[in-house]
Amino acid sequence: MKGALVGCGFFAQNQLHAWSEIEGVEIVALCDRDEDRLTQTGEAFGIARRYTDAAQMLAEGGFDFVDIATTVGTHRPLVELAAQHDLHVICQKPFAPTLRDARAMAQAVEATGKTFAIHENFRWQSALRHVIEEVRSGVIGTPFFGRVSFRSGYDVFSGQPYLAEGERFIIEDLGIHILDVARALFGDVDRITATTRRINPAIRGEDVATMLLAHSGGASSVVDCSYATQRVLETFPETLLEIDGTGGTLTLDAGYRLRVHTAEGTTQTELDPPLLSWAERPWHNIQESVLIFQRDFIAALREGRAPETAAADNLKTFALVEAAYLSAREGRTIAPDTL
C-alpha cells in the first residue's frame, strides 16, 4: 500500500515514523509548501518524490491514500482535492473550521466510495484503550457517571505556535480529543453544556473549558480541560478518568495507574505506554497512539471495513466541539443533533 503525505510540520514527523513501522505500507511522496521543511523531512525519511504543490503531487499520483497533516485552514481544499483523485484519505483533527465544511468534506469522499478517516488518536492511547475495552466489556456494569479530565500547565505553544493565535484554542485543539474519548466510553451525546475561560493573557483563545454531557445511553460525564493549571505533578499529556458503574468504579490516575473496584475486590494495573524507539517523554503515549491509529486505518482498508474514527463517526465528535462553543457563548444547553 502506498501513501503520500501533505504537511511536513511538527506532528507529521510522528506520522512518518509510525508509517515506517507498518508492514506493507510505504510513503512514496511528500508535500509541503515550505521548501526547507520539505527537504529536511524528505532527507530524514528517505523520500525522494517531493512537491511544494499538493495539486501537482496528486496529479502525478502513484499512491493509494493521502495523509493530510496540515493545520485546519487547509483541510477542506486538500480533502476535496484528494476526492477528485479518488484516493483514500486521512485528515488530521480538527476536522474543519466549521461543521458545514466538515459535512461537505465527508460527502465529497463518500461520493467516491473511498475510505475517509480523521486522525483522532487519543482513543487509541494504550492506557485509554485498555479502559475503553474494560468499560465496554461490562467489568463495572453500566456506567452512569464519568469524568474525563485533562489539566496541565505544559507549554504547548513553543512547539505549536499557531495554538496561541487562533480565536478558538482548547476545545478545538485538545477538547476535541477528550470529547471523543467520552464518546468512546459512554456513547453518543444528546445534550452538552459548557463554560470557557481564558486565563493566559498571552494567547487569543480560551484555555479552560468545563463541559457537562448527557449521553443517549443515560450516563452523564464531565469533560474538563485546562492548559492554565499549574500542577505539582505535571501530567501532560495524560487524560485522567473516574468512572462509576452499576457494578463498580474505575479510575485512571496520574502515571497511567488503573484501579478497578468491584464486589470481587480491587485491582491495580500499571498502564505506562511503551517508549517507541523514535518517541520521547512526555509525548510517548500520543506517539504510540499515532501508530495504533494508523494501523487501524490500514487494517480497515485491508478488511473492507470502516476505520473506528471514520469521518462519518468523527462528525459527531466535531458537532460536540461546535455545540460546546455555542453553549459557552450563549449560556445554554445545546443538542448537537440540532446543529
List of residues contacting ligand NAD (CB under 6 A): 6-12, 31-34, 37, 54, 69-72, 74, 92-93, 119, 121, 160, 162, 173, 286
Decide: 252 and 148 in contact? Cβ < 8 Å: no
Q: Is 160 in the site for ligand 89V (CB under 6 A)?
A: yes
If the CB atoms of residues 102 and 156 are measured against ligand 89V, the closer one turns out to be 156
Q: Are 336 and 323 in contact (CB under 8 A)?
A: yes
> How far, in Å, CA of 124 to CA of 55, rounded?
31
The gap from C-alpha 112 to its chain's centroid, in whole angstroms, comes to 24
The CB-of-12 to ligand NAD minimum distance in angstroms stands at: 6
Q: Is 319 in the site for ligand 89V (CB under 6 A)?
A: no
Q: How far is the CB of 328 from ligand 89V (least distance, A)?
A: 19
237 touches ligand 89V by CB under 6 A = yes
Rounded Cα distance, 56 and 86, in Å: 15
Task: Enter the C-alpha cell of residue 82.
Answer: 484528494
d(CA 41, CA 157): 22
State the minimum distance, in angstroms, from the CB of residue 294 to ligand NAD: 11
Q: Which does 174 bind (CB under 5 to 8 A by kind): ligand NAD, ligand 89V, none?
A: ligand 89V
Neighbour tally for 72: CB within 10 Å: 20
Q: How many residues bind ligand 89V (CB under 6 A)?
A: 7
Q: Give the C-alpha separation, 258 to 240, whole Å.
A: 10
Nearer to ligand NAD, 37 or 198 (CB): 37
Shorter beta-carbon distance to ligand 89V: residue 192 or 290: 290
Task: Determine the distance from the C-alpha atom of residue 316 to the mean position of all C-alpha atoms in its chain, rounded to a whole number.
Answer: 13
Distance, CA of 339 to chain centre: 21
Min dist. Cβ of residue 337 to ligand 89V (A): 25
Shortest Cβ 186–ligand NAD spacing (Å): 21
Q: What is the gyration radius of the CA atoms in the chain, in angstroms?
A: 20
Q: Least CB distance from residue 338 to ligand NAD, whole Å?
A: 26
Q: Which does 237 bind (CB under 5 to 8 A by kind): ligand NAD, ligand 89V, none?
A: ligand 89V
Would you call the peptide bond into 94 cis, given omega within 30 degrees of 0 as the criterion?
A: yes
DSSP 8-state secondary structure symbol assigned to residue 166: S
156, 185, 252, 300: residue in contact with ligand 89V (rule CB under 6 A): 156
Cis status of the peptide bond prior to 237, with omega within 30 of 0: yes
Residues 279-298 that bind ligand 89V (CB under 6 A): 286
* The three grid cell numbers given for residue 14, joined into one nine-digit string: 510522528
Q: C-alpha angle 21/293/156, rounded to 5°?
A: 95
Position with the least CB separation from ligand NAD: 9
Does residue 173 belong to the site contacting ligand 89V (CB under 6 A)? Answer: yes
**174 binds ligand 89V, rule: CB under 6 A:** yes
Q: Which of ligand NAD, ligand 89V, none has residue 124 at its interface (CB below 5 to 8 Å by kind)?
A: none
List residues binding ligand 89V (CB under 6 A). Answer: 156, 160, 173-174, 177, 237, 286
